[in-house]
Structures are given as C-alpha cells and as structure tokens.
C-alpha cells in the first residue's frame, strides 16, 4: 500500500462510503481513517440499520463530514442523493448486507444509500459481508453476478470465523484489499483524466466465416476477456466501443474497427480473428452428394491396400480457403501519433517465444499472451493468467485471477507506464 491517493491526484480524491447494517460496520471506522490518512475526502452514507452497529458521531468525527442517512434531509437545493453522487469519484459499499446487495441488483431505491448507489455513474465497489449460508444462497450469488455484469465490482467475502458463530465464507474482505481496489480505480481514472476523455475500442470473441447459409467456421473464443476489458475501461472513465466479433466475419470486423479507429486513443484487439475464410460462401445450403457413381467415373485415386481395390476420398468435400487481412497489423501500420494499439495472442506452445515474434511482426505497442493449452484459464474460462509484453519485449506476468482483475491490470500496465 502506498500513498497514491494524495500523490497521484493533484486534487484530493473524494470517496463515498456506504455502510449497511452488519457487524463488520465497526471496521469501516478504520477504513475511513486509512482514506483520510492518504489525503482523500470522505463522505459517509448509511442505511438506518447501520447505525445499530456504529454511531453517527463516530463516523462524522472520523470523516470530518456530516453523515447522510435519511432520504429527505435535504440541505442543499439539489436532492441529497444526487449531490452525494456528484461529489464523489468512487463509491464503496462496505459491509454490504445480503439485503442491500439484492436491492441494488434489482434497482430498488428505498433508502438514501440505495438511491445514491443507483444514481452513481462512477465506479462502485461492493464488499459484501454476511452469514456464510446467506452468501452461498443461490439467489444472493445470482444477484452478485448480476451486479458484476452491470459493471459493479464485487470484492467477495473472506473465509473464517463469523460473528454469528459459524465458520465459512462471509467475513468482510481485508480493509487493505478495499483500499487497494479504490486506489487502483482512482489512479486509472486519474491517468485517463490527464489525457482527457479516452476513447477505447475493444474487439471481443471469435469471428464467424460462413460456408453456406447453415454452416460456418469459427473458434473457441468466448469474448469474456474482451467484455471484462470493456467494463474495466468504462470504470476508468473511458468512452468504450465494444465490438462483438461473433457478429462479424473478419472482413466485416475490419470494416467495423476501421470506422472507429480514426479518433480512438486505444484499440485493443482481444478478438480471435479467423486467418482464412472460404473462397466463396455458397448461396444455398450445400447438399451431400448422394448419387454413387461407378468407379470408372470417379476422379479419386485408386489404391490397392491388402490387394483389394479401394477408393480414397469418396464422399469428401474440399473447401478452398483464402487468407483474411490481418486487421491488427494494418491498424499498426496506419496508427496515428499517440494512439496505443494492443494485440492478444493465443498460443498452445512456446508462449513467450511466439508472443515475442508476434509483437515484432504486428508492430503493436503491447501484446497480451494467453496459454490456451490449459483448461483453467483462457478460452471460455472465468480466470486468466497472461503475460503482457511491451514493444521492447519486456514481459510481465499477471498471475491467475478473475478476468475482471486481469483486465484492470492490463489497463494499468498500458496507462501506468
Ligand atoms: N488478428 C487480426 N487479424 C487477423 C488475425 C489476427 O487482427 N487476421 C489479431 C488478433 O485480434 C490478435 C492478434 O492479431 O490481437 C494475434 O492473433 P493470433 O491469431 O494469435 O495471430 P496470427 O497472426 O493469426 O498468428 P497464428 O494464428 O499463426 O498464430
């Protein structure tokens, strides 16, 4: 943990902390002190139940600001939940009870905290804490996943002894973890802010090459890494254009990317683009050849294994493939001053060796190298472990983590250097 909150930001950052009714609420007093020690402004918004665990006076004394609890205590002209939401750079909800988590997931705004969170257009980091059985409950898990899909960041609870007497996953995660997430979120936004509003174009998933109206050629790319990057880039405050490769052939993707490239500050080609396409996609469904022809009319070669006559190639269909353009290489060739271009590569062997050759050949600023020989990471998995290479062939390993974390780290590597 370092002093980035005050040193990176020329203006002190403003952190809005939402506290709900849970025993871990007392720990947030220390979290407020951590933010204050690092130079941040802190505002606190509580659910009425939170005040059963910690007093308004404590929170006000530590934060140095009035604590907002009731929806209709409007001091300024603007409704309180809107002015709170406008003031802060990031919102942290900790501890977040099962009740508040579920309300947020459904867009229910029945108190000041849920209304503020709903109106908050900047990053929201949620640290749930509850009984372990409540956390494992399918409905709570689905609500947490729904929030993640909507762009909220969830810091899952830790395992250990719980105040309710149970032992399991439910404890508020470590305060340092919350602090570090806030810090990295703020520093990413700050870097983006220094360069003005960034436009980041991201491609995700695998392209689709039609063979006929029924069949196509594609690959195993799920698009999860690209989607995680889009979320992380949005959190950083960038204007994001996410292009889903699964809706495009390579040629169509090339056109779509070109249309967005001119004013893009950064282009991330996470898509798996087909290197070849059928020379011609058939207009009608290709039918099986059902008419057996006499041997003497067939073009296939005749061979005589074991002394018997046999036909090789009978019933086979040959598809002629022609190369697709290399979109990434073309983008790099035409890149404008200051534009950052990031490629991905999927390798089943010699990961770093192939990645180094590829970054040189394509000419991109960064290349993220995936090992697709492992089932637990890469294609389709929720986690990833990658190397990120820069132009000088320096490679940094990003240890196995959820794709959301890897995505944030990739952006940190791009904008941190
Ligand atoms: N890429 C591209 N256009 C292509 C092929 C790939 O823009 N026709 C991009 C991908 O989006 C990715 C990077 O190039 O960012 C590397 O893709 P990869 O398939 O690993 O590289 P290839 O050049 O296709 O090399 P190979 O398949 O031979 O390993």
pLDDT of 307 > 50? The answer is no
- Strands (E) across 78-186 are located at 90-96, 124-128, 153-154, 158-161, 167-171
328-375 residue pLDDT tens: 999 999 999 989 999 999 898 999 999 999 999 999 999 999 988 887
CB 245 within 8 A of CB 221: yes
Q: How far apart are the first and last CA of the chain?
A: 18
Q: What percent of the chain stands above pLDDT 90?
A: 63
* pLDDT-based confidence at residue 77 (cuts at 50, 70, 90): very low
Cis peptide before 95 (omega within 30 of 0): yes
Map tokens 């889009």 to a residue.
Answer: 230
pLDDT of 312 > 60? The answer is no
| 56, 87, 205, 247 from 345: Cα distances, Å | 52, 41, 13, 20
Q: What is the pLDDT of residue 382?
A: 82
* pLDDT-based confidence at residue 211 (cuts at 50, 70, 90): very high
CA atoms within 13 A on the CB side of 369: 22
Q: What is the pLDDT of residue 1?
A: 42
Q: What is the pLDDT of residue 119?
A: 87
Q: What is the pLDDT of residue 73?
A: 56
| 140, 328, 349, 360, 394 from 352: Cα distances, Å | 40, 19, 9, 12, 10
pLDDT of 167 > 60? The answer is yes
Q: What is the pLDDT of residue 415?
A: 82
**Average pLDDT for 174-198:** 77
Q: What is the pLDDT of residue 4?
A: 46
* pLDDT-based confidence at residue 205 (cuts at 50, 70, 90): very high
| 42, 44, 84, 90, 111 from 69: Cα distances, Å | 15, 9, 12, 18, 8
pLDDT of 183 > 70? The answer is yes
Closest C-alpha to ligand 1, atom 18: 345
CB 43 within 8 A of CB 68: yes
Please provide the size of the chain in residues: 417
Domains of the chain, each with CATH number or no CATH: 4-189 (3.40.50.1950), 197-278+322-415 (3.40.50.10300)
Alpha-carbon radius of gyration of the chain: 27
Ligand 1 atom showing the smallest separation from residue 271 Cα: 11
pLDDT of 310 > 50? The answer is no
* pLDDT-based confidence at residue 106 (cuts at 50, 70, 90): very high
Residue among 273, 323, 348 to mutate when testing ligand 1 (max atoms within 8 A of CB): 273
What the block records as the tokens of 356 is: 């180094």
As for ligand 1, residues whose beta carbon falls within 6 Å of it are 250, 269, 271, 273, 275, 324, 326-328, 343-346, 358
Q: What is the pLDDT of residue 35?
A: 97
Average pLDDT of every residue of the chain: 87
Q: Which residues carry out catalysis?
A: 164
**Average pLDDT for 186-200:** 68
CB 218 within 8 A of CB 379: no
378-416 residue pLDDT tens: 777 888 899 999 999 999 999 988 888 899 889 988 987
* pLDDT-based confidence at residue 5 (cuts at 50, 70, 90): low
CA atoms within 13 A on the CB side of 125: 29
Instruction: Please tell me which residue, 55 or 165, carries the higher pLDDT value.
Output: 55
Instruction: Please tell me which residue, 55 or 79, carries the higher pLDDT value.
Output: 55
User: What is the CA(276)–ligand 1 centre distance, in A?
Assistant: 11
User: What is the CA(154)–ligand 1 centre distance, in A?
Assistant: 33
Q: What is the pLDDT of residue 290?
A: 67
257-304 residue pLDDT tens: 999 999 999 999 999 999 999 999 999 999 887 666 655 555 554 444
Nearest Cα to Cα of residue 147 among 131, 168, 127: 127
Nearest Cα to Cα of residue 83 among 91, 74, 92: 74
């Amino acid at each position: 943990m370092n002093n980035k909150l005050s040193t990176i930001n020329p203006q002190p950052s403003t952190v809005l902390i939402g506290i709900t009714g849970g025993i871990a609420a007392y720990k947030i007093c220390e979290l407020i002190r951590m933010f204050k020690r690092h130079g941040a402004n802190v505002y606190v918004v509580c659910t009425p139940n939170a005040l059963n665990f910690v007093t308004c006076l404590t929170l006000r004394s530590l934060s140095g600001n009035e604590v907002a609890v009731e929806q209709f205590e409007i001091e300024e002209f603007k409704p309180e939940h809107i002015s709170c939401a406008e003031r802060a750079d990031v919102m942290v909800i900790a501890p977040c009870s099962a009740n508040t988590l579920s309300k947020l997931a459904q867009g229910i705004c029945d108190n000041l905290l849920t209304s503020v969170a709903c109106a908050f257009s900047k990053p929201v980091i949620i640290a749930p804490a509850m009984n372990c059985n409540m956390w494992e409950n399918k409905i709570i898990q689905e609500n947490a996943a729904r929030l993640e899909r909507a762009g909220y960041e969830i810091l899952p609870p830790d395992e250990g002894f719980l105040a309710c007497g149970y032992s399991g996953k439910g404890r508020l995660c470590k305060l340092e973890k919350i602090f570090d997430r806030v810090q990295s979120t703020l520093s990413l936004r700050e870097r983006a802010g220094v360069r003005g509003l960034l436009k980041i174009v991201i491609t995700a998933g695998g392209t689709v090459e039609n063979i006929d109206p029924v069949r196509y050629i594609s690959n195993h790319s799920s698009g999860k890494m690209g989607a995680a990057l889009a979320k992380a880039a949005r959190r950083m405050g960038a204007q994001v254009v996410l292009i889903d490769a699964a809706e495009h052939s390579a040629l169509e993707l090339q056109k779509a990317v070109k249309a967005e490239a001119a004013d893009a500050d950064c282009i991330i080609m996470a898509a798996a683009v087909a290197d070849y396409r059928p020379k011609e996609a058939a207009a009608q469904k290709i039918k099986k050849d059902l008419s057996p022809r006499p041997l003497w009319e067939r073009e296939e070669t005749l061979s005589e294994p074991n002394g018997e006559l046999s036909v090789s190639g009978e019933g086979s269909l040959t598809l002629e493939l022609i190369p697709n353009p290399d979109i990434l290489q073309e983008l790099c060739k035409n890149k404008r001053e200051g534009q950052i271009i990031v490629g991905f590569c999927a390798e089943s062997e010699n990961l770093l060796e192939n990645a180094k050759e590829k970054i040189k050949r394509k000419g991109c600023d960064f290349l993220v190298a995936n090992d697709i020989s492992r089932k637990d990471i890469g294609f389709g998995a929720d986690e990833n472990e990658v190397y990120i290479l820069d132009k000088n062939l320096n490679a940094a390993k990003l240890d196995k983590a959820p794709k959301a974390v890897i995505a944030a780290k990739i952006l940190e590597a791009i904008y941190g250097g």
